[in-house]
Structure 1
C-alpha cells in the first residue's frame, strides 16, 4: 500500500515493492514508530462527531500517552544523548522561554503549564531524533507513511458512514468519522503527502504505481474537504519545489511543462466549476472576511495588553480569542507568546528558508522547500507554529533534509611493512669447522 512509496534509490528501480529498506548506518526501524507516536500526539482532540462517540478525556489520554511513549522510546534508542546541532531545534527550545514566562502567572489556567510541559517533551523528543538527521529522505518516508495511515482511517469512516463523514454541520465537507478530524486537518495531511510523493517520484525514489496509490486517494480526499488553504499550499509549494529542480532534472522540467499546460486547460474549460468549489457556496462578503476570521483578528489586535503581555503573551492556550478560533499562526503566537514568540517563529522560518536557498539543487532540498513554503502559506489561516502541531513536524522533516551529511569515518592508511633484507646464501647457515 502507501508504504511502498517511501523507498530509496536504486532499489526502487529494480523492485516497486521493496521500497522501504534501511541501509547501513541509517536510522533504526523503531525511529519510525517514534515518528508515528508524534503524529498521533498532534492529531488533536477536537473535531466532528465520530461514529462511535469518543470522550475527549480518552482522546487526550491517548494523545498524551503517545507523546510520553515517543519520548521514552527515543530516549531508549539514544541513551548516550547524541544530538546534532540544529538551529531549528535551538530556536524551538528558546520558544519555551516566553511560553513558560507567560504561563507561570496562571492567567490562562493550569492548562497553560500543562501545554508548556507538552511542548518541552515534544521538543526533547525531536532533539533525541536529531541524531539521525543526515540530509536523506528517511523522515520523509516516515512522514508519508504515517499520514497516509491517518487518511486511511478517514477513507474508512467515509466508506462506513458517508453521512457522518460529510455532515451538514460542516457544509458537507469531509471530516473524520472514526477519529475527530476537521476538514482543514484532513486537507493539510492530504496536501503534504501528495506534494512529497510527487517529489519522490520526480527524484526516482519510487515508481509510478506506488506513487499513484498515495497521490490519487489523497487528492480525492483533499477535494472532498474543500480546503482552500491546503490546495493553495500544495500548488505553490510544488511550484517552488519543482522550480528548484528545473535546472538539474529533466523529469522536473517535463512535469513543470505538463503542469502549466493542464492548469491552462483547467482554467479555460472548468473555470466556473473551480470557482464554485473555491467559494464553497459563500457570499463574496463572507469570502473577503475569510469566513469571519478577520473579525476575530481585528478584535485580538484591538484588545488592551500590558507590556509583559506584549512581550511574552498570555500563556499557551487553545489558540482561541473570545471563544472563537484565531486561525492564524502569527496572531496566535502573538496572543500566547508575545512579540518574543513571533520573533522566534519568524527566525525559524527565515533560517530554514535561508539554508534551503544556499543548498545545491537536490531532491532533499526540493522536499524541504515544499514543506517550508507550505507551512508559510498555511500559517495565514491556520494556527500551530508556536506549539506542538503537525506544522512543527513538517518543519522538523525540512530540518532533517537540510542537515549536512555525517562525514564517514576516515579509514587509517595501512602501514607499509618494512622491506625484508635479503641474506646471501653463504650467510644463511653457519659452518662449524
Structure 2
C-alpha cells in the first residue's frame, strides 16, 4: 500500500470518527432541551435527577464539541451571533435576582448552549447531515413515548391532560410530543420529495409519528406541520416534478378530508372545548392581558425580569414573544425578531434546493408555534430547530481535495503535503 493511499485512508477514518462525535453532540443538545417538567411517569423521577441528566448532557455536548474542535475553528453565523447578543439582556436582567438564583443558572445553560453551537458551526455547510441527526434523535424520543403507551396506556393518556398523550417514561407534555412528531414528519416528507431517502424507510418514521401526533391532539403542531410543509414544498414546485406531484396529491387529499370528514376534524380540533374557549386560545389571553398590564420599571421594560420558567402569576405564558418580553425585555424581543427576520431573509435569497426547503419548513414551523408556545428566548427545541435551519442555509464549504499521488519515484512537493486538511 502506498503512503498516499494510507494517508487518504487515515483521513477518511478520522472524518468518519469526527462525524459520529458531532452527531452525538447534536443528540446531547436534543436531550438537554427535553425539559424537566411534565406528566407523571410510570416510575417517578425526581425533578432534580432529570435536571442533572439534562444539564449533564449539555456539559458533555460542550466538552465533546470542544474536543473535536480544539483549534476553535468556527464559521461566521449571524444566527449564533444574535443568540450571543441575547445573552446580554439575559445576564443584565438575571443579575438582579428578581427571578432567584435559578435565573443565573439558566443564563449559564444558555451560554453553554450557544457556545456549543459556535463550536459546531465549523461543520455547517448547507448539507443534510444535521437533518438526519435531528430526525434520528427525535424519533428515538418518540420511541420512548410509544413504549410508555404500550406499557401503561393509563399513565400515557391521563385524565389530567384530557386523555391526551404524554410521556410515561420521561415527563413530556402533549405539546412537546406533538412538536417533535410534526418536525420529523415534515423533514422526512421533504427528504422523500427530494429523493434523499426511500419511501419504505420514510414510512417507518412518518406513520408512527402521525399516530402519536393525532393522540396528542396538538393543534399548534398540526397547523405548523401543514403550513410549514406547504411553504417548503411551494419553494420546490418550480424546480421539482416530485414536489409538484406531491403538492397536487396533498391538495386533493385535503379537499376530500375536508368534505368527507369535516365534522370529525372539527371535533378533533375542539378537543371537547366550547367554541368560546377555543377562540380565546384555551384561556391564554387572560394571562397575556395580565402580563402586559403589569407595571414595570424602565429597566424591566428594556431588559426584562430575568430568565425564569416562562410563567406569569403561576400560569404558563405560552407565547414566545411575551415570554421573551417578560424575561429579556424589549431588547430581547428585538433580538429574537432579528433572528427570525435574518433566517427568513437568507432563505428567500437562496436558490431553490432541498436544504432551503427544509430551512423554510423549520423557520415557518417555529414562527407559527411561537404564538402559542414559549421557547425562542432560551435553550429550547425551538432554538435547536432554528440552529438546524441556520446550518442548512450556510454557504457550502469550498471543496478541498487531497493532492494527486505522485508518479513512482517522484517526491510529492512539501506545499502539496501541507494542503491536506483534517
Same fold (TM over 0.5): yes
Q: Which residue of 2 aligns with 1:81?
A: 72
Secondary structure, aligned partner of 1:115: helix
Q: Which residue of structure 2 aligns with residue 332 of structure 1?
A: 323
Tell me if 1:51 matches 2:6. no
List alignment gaps of at least 5 residues for structure 1. Answer: 1-20, 415-433
2:251 counterpart of 1:272: no
Say which SS state the counterpart of residue 30 (structure 1) adopts. Answer: helix
Quick check: 1:82–1:131 contact (8 Å CA) kept in 2? yes
Tell me which residue corresponds to 2:414.
Answer: none
User: SS at the partner of 1:360?
Assistant: coil
Quick one: distance in 2 between partners of 1:236 and 1:398? 17
Question: What is the aligned counterpart of 2:239 among 225, 244, 248?
Answer: 248
Displacement of 1:26 after TM fit?
9.8
- Quick one: distance in 1 between partners of 2:315 and 2:95? 24
CA drift of 1:408 comes to 2.1
Provide the residue aligned with 2:397 in structure 1.
406
Task: Spell out, residue by residue over 1:124-156, the C-alpha distance to the aligned partner (whole angstroms, 9 max, x if none).
Answer: 001000000000001000000000000000000
Structure 2 CA distance, aligned partners of 1:320 and 1:135? 36
> How many correspondences in the alignment?
395
Is residue 195 of structure 2 the alignment partner of residue 204 of structure 1?
Answer: yes
1:244-323 alignment runs, 5 A limit:
244-323=235-314
RMSD: 1.7
Taking the aligned partners of 2:130 and 2:380, their CA distance within structure 1 comes to 16
| Corresponding position of 1:189 | 180
Deviation at 1:411, TM superposition (A): 8.1
Q: Partner residue of 1:233? A: 224
Quote the Cα distance in structure 1 between the aligned partners of 2:388 and 2:167.
Answer: 25
Q: Are 2:18 and 2:68, in contact at CA under 8 Å, matched by a contact in 1? A: no
Structure of larger gyration radius: 1
In the alignment, which residue of structure 1 is the partner of 2:109?
118
SS of the residue corresponding to residue 29 of structure 1 reads helix
Secondary structure at the aligned position of 1:301 is classed as: helix
CA contact (8 A) 1:26 1:132 kept: no
Question: 1:285 deviation in Å?
Answer: 1.3
Mapped contact 1:27–1:132 kept (Cα < 8 A): no
Structure 1 distance, partners of 2:348, 2:376, is: 21
Superposed displacement of residue 28, structure 1: 1.5
Closer/same/farther in 2, CA of residues 212 and 22 from structure 1, 3 Å limit: farther
Which residues in structure 2 correspond to 1:128-143 (within 5 Å)? 128-143=119-134
Relative to the length of structure 2, the TM-score reads 0.91
Aligned partners of 1:326 and 1:332 also within 8 Å: yes
